[in-house]
Each structure stands twice: as C-alpha cells, then as structure tokens.
Structure 1
Amino acid sequence: MTSLLSVSQLQAFYGLGQVLHGLDLRVGRGEQVALVGRNGMGKTTLLRSLMGLVADRRGQILLGGQDISRAKVETIARAGVALVPEGRGIFGSLSVAENLVMTARPGVGGNRSWTLKRIYDLFPRLHARRSNGGHQLSGGEQQMLSIGRALMTNPDLLLIDEATEGLAPLIARDIWTTLDVIREEGVASIVVDKDFRSLSKIADRIVVLSKGNVVFNDSPSVLAQQPQMLALHLGL
C-alpha cells in the first residue's frame, strides 16, 4: 500500500508538559486506522498535531511526500487533511447548507468527488434540515454535519476525534456505516472512538497509544488475540 502519511519521532508539548514522545506512524492511501487508548494518552493531541493545531510540535510529518511538519493549519488543509474535532465545532448561527457550502473546494489535483448533493445523499437528515441553524440540530445531526463539512474539502486524509461520543445507539450505527462508505471511497482516515468493537469492524489497522507512545500497531484480529493488551490499555 502506498504511504500517504508518514510520521517520524513526533513530539508535542503544551507549555512545559510533553504529551507525545517520539511517536512514529504510517497511514496508507485509502487506509482506515483506528486510534485507541485510555483517556489522556495523547490521541487528541496527535490529531491536533497532524492538523497543525499544536504550536510546539517536533519531528517530521510527511503527507504525500510533502513535509508539513511546521506548516500552518490552512496549508495542511489545502494539502488534503480535514479534521472532525471532538465537540463537532459547527457554526450554530449558520444553516446546515451554509455550514457545508462554506468549506466546499476541490481536493488535491482538482478532485471534486464530494459535492453538496453527495453529502445530502449520504446524510438524508441533513437534507431535510438544510435550512435549520446549526444550533437547532441534535447531537447526532451535528456530528453528521461536522463529517459532511470535512468531506466537502475533498480530503485525502480525514481525522475524526470521538466519532460517536454521546450519540444514541441508532445514530452511532449510522455514523459507523458512514465511515465504512468513506473507506470504500478511498479516503484514508484516522478514527478515534471508545467503541473498540465497532472500530474493529471497519478499521484496517489498530494503533494503541499509551502515554504518548505507540504500544501496538497491527490488525484488529491480532489485537483481539491479546487479552492482556486489551485489558491494560483499553480496559476490556
């Protein structure tokens, strides 16, 4: 599999506190990677570092061979990375349609696969509520909107933090189905969530973080055969 993202010796700091400790990671084109671990182990910091949102980050980050280690957020976004943040971060004063259209642009190389129509086809609930303000949506609808907004940038790499946190089971099921569709479309992704069993069904690979380091990096089936690893790092 051709490498899309290559991270070498990544360190991240908040003030004097170090969160990531020389982390290495690879993501292939079209590969879906599940990022798991207990709270406070560095998962969100890793995604924020890849997006350029952590000011003090060190090491090397290559995206499609391009060095984005010290690039600004807007440069990284134009290079093909999109973030679905924890908490969704939608604009409550804008309508659903406005939230989507404001981010629309062709991807790297002019790709325009993800259009407003495709997002509405993927999330019929958003189409039904396209004139509603972001603040009028349920939590599940906000998460759909956040994912749809990221896809409207036609990314090569999608970063999703806490994909189904706080969502009702039926809505969470819809999100997992959506992530499977995104994978089939060839969009690479790194997905953070606490639902290990659901992640295992859609991910090509599981990466486990502990105290800012990668302690496991292999297929879901291999991890499932290591109960001590699951108990120690995931509490399963």
Structure 2
Amino acid sequence: MSALLKVNSLQSFYGVSQVLHGIDLSLRSGEQVALLGRNGMGKTTFLRSLMGLVPKTTGNVVWREAEIRTALPEKIAQSGVAYVPEGRGVFGSLSVIENLLMAARKGPSGKQNWTLDRVLTLFPRLAQRRNNGGHQLSGGEQQMLTIGRALMTNPDLILIDEATEGLAPLVAQEIWRTLTVVRSEGIATIVVDKDVRSLAKIADRMVVMSKGQIEFDGPPVDLLAQPEFLERHLGVQ
C-alpha cells in the first residue's frame, strides 16, 4: 500500500533557530502513530509544519502524492488533514453546537460519515452541554469538542497535539476510547502525548523524537522492550 503521507528530510526554522533536523516519516491510510518525546524536542513544530503553520521549512511533505510543504494551511485542511492543537482553540463565545457546525463539511472524496448527531453520540457529555458556550466547558469537555470539530470535517488524517495533557484520568480514558474509534474508522492519526503505556495499547507505531530528530520508529512492543531508551528519551521507568 502506498503511503498516504510521506515526509522526507523535513527541516523547520523559527527565524534563525532550526528546530527540525531532517525528519523522515511515512504514514499509511488508517494507521495510528504515537509521537513521543520530552518537552521542546520538536513534536509540536512537526505537526505545525505538516499543517503549513511554520513559515520556514525545507524538504518534502507529500500528501496523497501531492507536494504540500508550501501550501496554505486552509488548503491543507481542505485536502483532508485536521488539526487538534495544544490549547484546543475552542471558540468560547460560541455554543458547543455552533463550534461543531462551523467545521461541518464533506471529506475530499465526498464522504460525510461524521455528522453532528454522530459526534454527539460519540461524546455524550457534549450532547448534555450542547447549548453551553465553549468558555463554560471543562478542559476535558473542550478537548472532546476540539476532536469532535476535527471529525466534522470528515478528514483522512487527524493530527492531535497533547491529547490528554492536564485531563483527569477518567476523562483521559474517554479520549483514548475515542482514538480507538477513530482508528477503527480508517482515519489515520498522529497523536502527541506523554502517556506511553496508554499509547502503546492503541497505536500501530511509536515514534520518538529528540532534539528535532527521530530516534525510534517501530511497533510499541519493540519500544517497551528498551527500558534504558525509555528512561533516557522519555523519562519513563
């Protein structure tokens, strides 16, 4: 199967500071990849680079056999890539329903598997708060809303930054359950989070970044079998 996304020699800069140093990564349709690393290692910059949000990059980002590295973020989004940023980006003055409906559209192939009713079924808490403003939601509810908003675009790839950061354990479990559903739907995902053990249960591959480079790319079982590597790069014992 040909790669849905193929990244070659990606370098990214903020001014004169280089953050990514030649990233190579491929992703198949429906594949779920966990992106791991300590703070400041380039994970967020990588996701932002894929979305066209980093002003200076070099290398290649090929999405469905088309080069998109220099494409505008809105064009990348319209091509089937959804982004759940760190900080969530919920519109506080809009209701839950309005936040969801503003993103609603068919996918690039014309499919519309994810509708308002289906998202509210996936997240019953949002259904209960459907008329509440975004600013009235808890952090966990805002994360559900942001993921639901991404699904409303009927994407083929979702990029999720810090999936469960700052969330209560029960709410985090709800997010992991959601990502399992997303994976079962054939939507490819790249998920950034610090919960190595939970990610290992749902991801097809684990990718570890350090200082803007990929230090590991392989199945979860292989990563968990390297305790010294986990301690050195992730602080996990």
TM bucket by the smaller chain? over 0.9
Q: What's the counterpart of residue 69 of structure 1?
A: 69
2:109 corresponds to 1:109: yes
2:197 corresponds to 1:203: no
Query: Distance in 2 between the 1:26 and 1:229 partners?
Result: 23
Query: Distance in 2 between the 1:159 and 1:92 partners?
Result: 22
How do 1:75-114 and structure 2 match up within 5 A? 75-114=75-114
Consecutive unaligned residues of structure 1, counting only runs of 5 or more, are none
Aligned CA RMSD, in angstroms, stands at 0.6
2:122 corresponds to 1:129: no
What secondary structure, in the 3-state scheme, does the structure 1 residue paired with 2:109 have?
helix
Q: Which amino acid is the alignment partner of residue 216 of structure 2?
A: F
What secondary structure, in the 3-state scheme, does the structure 1 residue paired with 2:53 have?
coil
How do 1:1-236 and structure 2 match up within 5 A? 1-236=1-236
Q: Which amino acid is the alignment partner of residue 156 of structure 2?
A: D
Q: Which amino acid is the alignment partner of residue 65 of structure 2?
A: G
What secondary structure, in the 3-state scheme, does the structure 2 residue paired with 1:149 have?
helix
> What is the Cα deviation at residue 231 of structure 1?
1.1
Query: Distance in 1 between the 2:8 and 2:70 partners?
Result: 13
> What is the Cα deviation at residue 111 of structure 1?
1.1
Q: Which amino acid is the alignment partner of residue 74 of structure 2?
A: E
> What is the Cα deviation at residue 58 of structure 1?
1.1
Query: Distance in 2 between the 1:231 and 1:163 partners?
Result: 21
What secondary structure, in the 3-state scheme, does the structure 1 residue paired with 2:4 have?
strand
Q: Which amino acid is the alignment partner of residue 43 of structure 1?
A: K
Consecutive unaligned residues of structure 2, counting only runs of 5 or more, are none
> What is the Cα deviation at residue 108 of structure 1?
1.1
Per-residue CA deviation, residues 156-211 of structure 1 (Å, 9 max, x unaligned), is 00000000000000000000000000000000000000101000000000000010
Query: Distance in 2 between the 1:125 and 1:38 partners?
Result: 31
Q: Which amino acid is the alignment partner of residue 37 of structure 2?
A: G
> What is the Cα deviation at residue 2 of structure 1?
3.4
> What is the Cα deviation at residue 57 of structure 1?
1.2
> What is the Cα deviation at residue 217 of structure 1?
0.3
Query: Distance in 1 between the 2:228 and 2:111 partners?
Result: 44
Query: Distance in 2 between the 1:185 and 1:196 partners?
Result: 23
Per-residue CA deviation, residues 117-137 of structure 1 (Å, 9 max, x unaligned), is 110010011111110000000
Per-residue CA deviation, residues 83-139 of structure 1 (Å, 9 max, x unaligned), is 000010100000000000001111111010110011001001111111000000011
Query: Distance in 2 between the 1:173 and 1:41 partners?
Result: 26
Q: How many residues in Structure 1 have an aligned counterpart in Structure 2? A: 236
Query: Distance in 2 between the 1:167 and 1:143 partners?
Result: 9
Query: Distance in 2 between the 1:172 and 1:234 partners?
Result: 19
Per-residue CA deviation, residues 12-48 of structure 1 (Å, 9 max, x unaligned), is 0001100000110011100000000111000000000
Query: Distance in 2 between the 1:115 and 1:67 partners?
Result: 30
What secondary structure, in the 3-state scheme, does the structure 2 residue paired with 1:110 have?
coil
